[in-house]
Amino acid sequence: RVVTELKVKRFSLGSRPSQRRDPVTGEEPLEIRVGGSPLAVTMRTPGNDYELAAGFLVSEGVISSRDQFTQAQYCRGAGAEGGNTYNVLDVALAPGVEPPSPDLTRNFYTTSSCGICGKASIDAVETSSTFDLAADRTEVELERLLKMPETLRESQDIFNRTGGLHAAGLFDAQTGEMLALREDVGRHNAVDKVIGWALLEGRLPLSGCVLQVSGRASFELLQKAKMAGVPIFSAV
């Protein structure tokens, strides 16, 4: 579930503990398969899973355009006797698209706090983009840029209910319009969901856009922006 409720206890000095129900952000594993072969497992907030898988494949350099992504469907994982758990997603690539290299297969699951966990070597960490960012001359006015974190925060519906998760938003650099926003317990998942949305909408490369995130400018997020052809990255 995207949001669930748990019983929590509150402690205050000089008073007895009280108990109440509190909404918290959901977190479940998602196994991403390509052509039936396992590729990675990531801890994520359920929702927008097709976008998450598509964005992950862009970030890993497997695909870079809409016509390379044929379809995705949920399938039953091992031990799912009770039915589909919606935690295993199989992606079909277009004919002629090279499947992921065995070197990309994540040997361990990717936690919500680590976007490169499970990589087997240093060489496997850095990826090369098919888009030429050096040729992109996108600019954004400072005043418009400084408004983006506030716009992102005000639009976080799940954060407003639970008080804790990351977000990534894609903005038009010229107008400041927010084109897409995704939330997730993992900052790298939120970015992958936005990139996946852009891929499925046929918008890559994301020239003329700003990628605004709710956290820090970490290595893996900058690399994901590069892989999607984002010319400007903004972090709180």
Mind telling me the catalytic residues? 114
- Whether the link from the prior residue into 102 is cis, omega within 30° of 0, is no
The CB-side HSE value for 38 (13 A sphere, CA atoms) comes to 14
